[in-house]
With several copies, the nearest count.
Chain A
Amino acid sequence: MAELTYREAVAAGIAQEMARDERVVFLGEDIGAAGGVFKATVGLFERFGPRRVRDTPISEQAIIGAAMGAAMTGLRPIAEIMFSDFFGVCWDMIANEIAKTRYMTNGQISLPLVIRTANGAGSRFGAQHSQSVENWAMAIPGLKVVAPSTPADVKALIAAAVRDPDPVIVFEHKSLYAVKGEVPDGETVDTLGSAKVLHPGKDCTIAALALMVPRALEAAARLQSEHGISCEVIDLRSLVPLDTRTLLASVEKTARLYTVEENPRLCGWGAEIASIVAEEGFWNLDAPICRITTPHIPLPAADRLEDATIPSVDRIVETVRRTMD
């Protein structure tokens, strides 16, 4: 076990896969010599050279298109989109081309590729550099979607994404890059589509993702110690495939569901989770399903405003406490 930061674990995951498979190539803006604007790809250029780690122009459509064309002809590209907000400038390539091609061609074309991107708030970057857009990706049939919350997970889920035969979007959280955690030594590969129960509990289930996971865990600890409420915290980790079994089993036990999500309220992943449980877990529910979300607004930039906008530990504690009365 080594202690790595989340950003180091990203680089370690990519390096592990590039070392294993010559077909894995990596492209994006400033990822090479500069090591990425979040320094999450430091060392890859030095180790694998400019043939496999390629700096691109500011041309997100070309980046994603190139990854797609390369994937359909035998490579296993990893493309970086610097901020997930920039999915806007290449959304056609992601949502209309990559997601649909296997289906439309009746399986003739496979697209084993990964799109990595920095997602989420906390850096006071304002509304166009702080979005959580995992719900954009979840809404598109044909994309697999993961959003790891720890260094160990991000490394091993990137590895799983690279090995997966389908397109996978990996949402890395900006505010987690500096977080440290134990990462097992040697090769690690996770499984897409498996949630993790990080904190067992019996009074309610809290489903969270990415940066919301540590917050949900902290809230659970406080709810336990301050209010005697026992929360089961699930790190969904993967939105597609979605581990509905773990989720439904937990709600069967706790009879109450909270979702904690960073994307804006309407049509977020929390709505999907809530709807699934409102249909399939309905008879197990003892109370309304409660979504704790960022309000349906763009993100303000000032530190004070940003902090008050995305779900905080306080807000989780407060909401659960109030509604569990």
Chain B
Amino acid sequence: MNLRERRKRRDAASAYSTPQEATENDSMTALDQPRPLSAADDDIGREKRLRMFRLLLELRLTEKRAYDLFLQNLVKGTSHLSLGQEAVAAGFALGMRRDDYTFCTYRGHAHTLARGAPMSGVLGELMGRECGVTAGKGGSMHLTSVEHGAMGSYAIVGAHLPVACGAAWSAQYRGTDQVTACFFGDGTTNIGAFHEALNFAAVWKLPVVFVCENNLYMEYTPIGTVTAVEHPAADRAAAYGLARTIVDGNDADAVFRTASAAFARARAGQGPALIEAMTYRHSGHSRADPAQYRPKGELDEWLKRDPIKIYRERLVSLGFPEVDLGAIEADTERRVNEATEAAKASPPPPLTLIEKDLWADGGVAWRN
């Protein structure tokens, strides 16, 4: 059986679920029935817009819940919220196919959820419960759900960019038209792996889209004070023969359009892209950080451009009925509650896990 046949067979047998499907199969899909709303029937369309809204909410509410759980001392390790950055995760995920690959960072809750990983799996992982996506072995910085194309969250800055190249190379080699999306922060653009991966992807014309979520800070230090150019990613695209692309990372539609174009090019064999999405995190860098280094008023300015808020306003102005939006909100809230209860009810992982799955044979033995 050659690779192409293998792939066909795998695709046929695929049990992948996607964020789209997850939404469509949801109990609330009745709300998403077509209505005669011409203003929303542009390139994006009403169906996708509702999916987007639902997804944005899902990311927001799950992370807010993660924060609550942290305050209740139920989140044991660290956690890095991306409250305020949801439009990037949602906009890209909606442009992806179920067999595409996502690579993200420790700030990866949203990206993992956006590909369809269950909320309870994410919350459970943060709480160190058995129902966590890696049953507590990885922790909040290593959310992974291969089943959903979420190929891992990487906690060492820059490391996943070369790995994303490899997944893209594999797709290219196998002759599929899968694409790979790789998310990272502004601070990541100054580490060596960024440079190696970008050049490598460009030279091999790999189907990978690199997405820099520029939230203005690397941990506590303003990115401008440690970077030689204003736009840490976009101003370097030319160094890899790539186009300079900046997108409003708080506008989910804008992100979706940019993502779709880049994915289409990558699928067509036209090589990688590097996209800089301007955004802002509402909370501190991690749970330990009160974010006091931010100039007064900066957060307030960005809150005015909260991606959920502006998306909801847009839907309203496009004529989506309040009641439908409210129903999606209520439904998402309910689902987050259910996921929370499920995670709370899940036991801690059994100690037997410690000595499992270092090797493919399921064990950890290093000797006979």
A and B, direct touch (CB closer than 8 Å): yes
CB 8 Å contact bits of A7-33 with B (1 = contact, 0 = none): 000000000000000110100011001
Chain B's nearest CB lies how many Å from the CB of A234? 14
- Closest A residue to B364 by beta carbon equals A297
- Contact partner of B157 (CB less than 8 A), chosen from A55, A58, A66, is A58
B356 contacts the other chain (CB 8 A) = yes
B44 contacts the other chain (CB 8 A) = no
Contacting chain B: which of A102-110, A196-204, A312-320? A102-110
A300 contacts the other chain (CB 8 A) = yes
Chain B's interface size range is 35 or more
Question: Once bound together, how far apart are the Cα atoms of A33 and B160, in whole Å?
Answer: 29
Question: Once bound together, how far apart are the Cα atoms of A243 and B366, in whole Å?
Answer: 9
B270 contacts the other chain (CB 8 A) = no
B160 contact set on A, CB distance < 8 A: 65
Restricting to B345-368, which residues have a CB under 8 Å from any CB of A? Answer: 348-349, 351, 353-362, 364-368
- Contact partner of B156 (CB less than 8 A), chosen from A68, A128, A301, is A128
Chain A's nearest CB lies how many Å from the CB of B295? 12
B132 contact set on A, CB distance < 8 A: 302
A142 contacts the other chain (CB 8 A) = yes
CB 8 Å contact bits of B193-231 with A (1 = contact, 0 = none): 100110110011000000000000011110001110000
A305/B136 in contact, CB under 8 A:
yes
B136/A304 in contact, CB under 8 A:
yes
B16 contacts the other chain (CB 8 A) = no
A51 contact set on B, CB distance < 8 A: 173
Restricting to A99-135, which residues have a CB under 8 Å from any CB of B? Answer: 101-110, 112, 123-129
A297 contact set on B, CB distance < 8 A: 354-355, 358, 364
Chain A's interface size range is 35 or more
B364/A296 in contact, CB under 8 A:
yes
Chain A's nearest CB lies how many Å from the CB of B140? 8
CB 8 Å contact bits of B141-175 with A (1 = contact, 0 = none): 11011110001101111111111111111110110
A57/B128 in contact, CB under 8 A:
no
Contacting chain A: which of B82-90, B183-191, B301-309? B183-191
Question: Once bound together, how far apart are the Cα atoms of A124 and B200, in whole Å?
Answer: 32
B226 contact set on A, CB distance < 8 A: 55-58
A88 contact set on B, CB distance < 8 A: 156
Give 7 A-B contacts (CB < 8 Å), ordered by A residue: A34-B221, A66-B169, A103-B358, A109-B144, A127-B142, A243-B368, A297-B364
**Chain A residues at the B interface, C-beta cutoff of 8 Å:** 22-23, 25, 29-30, 33-34, 37, 51, 54-75, 77, 85-86, 88-89, 92-93, 96-97, 101-110, 112, 123-129, 141-142, 165-166, 193, 240-245, 265-266, 295-298, 300-305, 308-309
